[in-house]
A = this chain, B = another copy of it.
Amino acid sequence: MIEFWYEFGSTYSYPAAMRVERLAQSAGVTVAWRPFLLGPLFHEQQGLNDSPFNAFPVKGDYMWRDLQRVCDLEGLPLVHPSQFPRNGLLAARVAICGLEDGWTPAFSRAVYQANFVDDQDISQAEVLAPLIASVGAAPDAVLAAAASDPVKSRLKAHVRQAQERGLFGAPSFVTADGELFWGNDRLEQALDWAVRHQTLEQA
């Protein structure tokens, strides 16, 4: 098992979300999808009120170029969103709602497609509704549940757990033995670690 921690506004979470299930399946590792919010961590840990890619333009310029290269290598389309970062709060709450029924991965990929390919405002319920429908769930019921206190609390709990695990960015991967890996480019190493640990447990 590996935890996949992601934020819908996060750029490198997009390629990670698109490839994590494929690579994990090849490795024989299951994926626990963990939507969370980066904003509270950026603020608490670094005093930031915006993405570091906006706060420090030289890092942002590099990131967009590097992300393009990463997507090119993966064969993933990329359209620079007209707004960055987009607020992923509502989408994260919706993603929480799908965990039990198993549609969170497909919904999450659809949200990344909307944000980073179709340039849609994923903070809006009317943008998310057709994405919810596309994975076979009922938009009205899900959006109502997403606005409920229990779901809000579960997302807050995810943010707390992220802090407890030492996360400071997204995507991040945490193995069953608590090993933390940060960044889309650490996915392979995280899976290798998970496999080696599983083998040791079984030995």
Complex CA gap A45/B189 in Å reads 31
Chain B residue at minimal CB-CB distance from A183: B185
Complex CA gap A159/B62 in Å reads 18
- Are the C-beta atoms of B168 and A58 separated by less than 8 Å? yes
In the complex, which of the residues B45, B62, B168 contacts A180, with contact meaning CB atoms closer than 8 Å?
B62
Which A residues between 39 and 96 are near B, CB-CB below 8 angstroms? Answer: 45-46, 56, 58-59, 61-62, 65-66, 69, 73
Minimum C-beta distance from A54 to chain B (A): 13
Complex CA gap A93/B112 in Å reads 47
Complex CA gap A43/B65 in Å reads 23
- Are the C-beta atoms of B182 and A62 separated by less than 8 Å? yes
Complex CA gap A46/B55 in Å reads 8
Q: Which residues of B contact A45 (CB under 8 A)?
A: 56, 58-59
Complex interface bits, A145-168 against B, C-beta within 8 A gives 1, otherwise 0: 000000000000000000000101
Q: Which residues of B contact A166 (CB under 8 A)?
A: 58, 61-62
- Are the C-beta atoms of A59 and B185 separated by less than 8 Å? no
Q: Which residues of B contact A62 (CB under 8 A)?
A: 166, 168, 180, 182
Chain B residue at minimal CB-CB distance from A46: B56
Complex CA gap A65/B186 in Å reads 13
- A residues adjacent to B (C-beta < 8 A): 45-46, 56, 58-59, 61-62, 65-66, 69, 73, 166, 168, 180-182, 185-186, 189
